[in-house]
Amino acid sequence: MININKIIIFILIAIGVISAIIYYGSVQKDEQKFFNFNIKTNQANLEQQQIDSIFKISGIKGDFIVDENTHAYRKLFFELDEKNQSIYDELINNNDKTIVIYPIFTASAYNSPGFYDYYKGQCDYNCLTVPIKLILRAEVGGNGAQILKLLNYKFLSDIDIDKNPDILKKFDKVILLHNEYVTQNEFDAITSHPKVIYLYPNALYGKIDANYDNNTITLIKGHGYPDASIDNGFNWKFDNTHPYEFDRECKNWEFYNIDNGKMLNCFPDEFIYQNPALLKKLRDF
């Protein structure tokens, strides 16, 4: 005699497995949109004595030169270094319930012409609406994103959160990069999650609107717009832009507690590839 209950349970399990495969497959596919670069083309290696790192570092010739303002290397590409495998074993993420949010909206805002041309007075209000571009940029935590990718962290983007804020409920821990510009949907989803690691200062700073029909974002409020007196577009009490965004050396780095997680007290993009202690603490939170 056929056991109907067993059949129902089997069907439910099958549906769950198929859903998980589809979901994690879509996450992996989404990651490739902004990690799709080829470091083998016109590649130039950086000597270890020039820059300390627990990863192999390379860059595009002429494009990894020391930044004349910060004297730091920018637009770097990272790979695992086999001689440091024992270090990676201590840092690798094996928790599928941890997710990193890649700041697609912020990367788009930093393109030119864009928000920063407006801030500099080089462009009118038209520059406050920009195309959404799925790219990796140094200004938005590009180094940190690459390092976490190498250490087996899974990624979603701002777009995923904005379209489906409840998706964050699937994860026990959320890691933000330099997610400076976010929508109200995304802000609410992140600030209501019980365990968020704000790895970069200046997160959740500017309020934007996303138009997926036109594939654009538009600045609504924040960063001195529409009034010069407005800093944080959400009036968020935990905004840590000043002074921490401007500490790039991270000599006295530490994570401190806020209501829904922890914040780092410096901007780690020129530091994260050198410091296994920070990466281990990030994994173990």
Tens digit of each residue's pLDDT (9 = 90 or more) over 247-277: 999 999 999 999 999 999 999 998 899 999 9
What pTM value is reported for the model? 0.83
Q: Are residues 111 and 16 in the same domain?
A: no
Q: Are residues 29 and 161 in the same domain?
A: no
- Is the pLDDT at 23 greater than 70? The verdict is no
Range of the domain at 5: 1-34
266 found inside a domain: yes
State the total domains in the chain.
Answer: 2
Check residue 30 and give its pLDDT. Answer: 54
52 found inside a domain: no
56 found inside a domain: no
Tens digit of each residue's pLDDT (9 = 90 or more) over 93-106: 999 999 999 999 99
Three-class DSSP labels, the chain: CCCHHHHHHHHHHHHHHHHHHHHHHHHHHHHHHHCCCCCCCCEEECCCCCCCCCCEEEEECCCCCECCCCCCECCCEEECCHHHHHHHHHHCCCCCCEEEEECHHHHHHCCCCCHHHHHCCCCCHHHHEEECCCCCCHHHCHHHHHHHHHCCCEEEEHHHHHHCHHHHHHCCEEEECCCCEECHHHHHHHHCCCCEEECCCCCCCEEEEEECCCCEEEEEEECCECCCCCCCCCCCCCCCCCCHHHCCCCCCCCEEEECCEEEECCCHHHCCCCCHHHHHHHHHC
Tens digit of each residue's pLDDT (9 = 90 or more) over 31-66: 556 665 444 444 445 443 356 789 988 765 445 444
Q: Are residues 19 and 149 in the same domain?
A: no
27 found inside a domain: yes
Tens digit of each residue's pLDDT (9 = 90 or more) over 124-150: 999 999 999 887 776 777 889 999 999
- Is the pLDDT at 20 greater than 50? The verdict is no
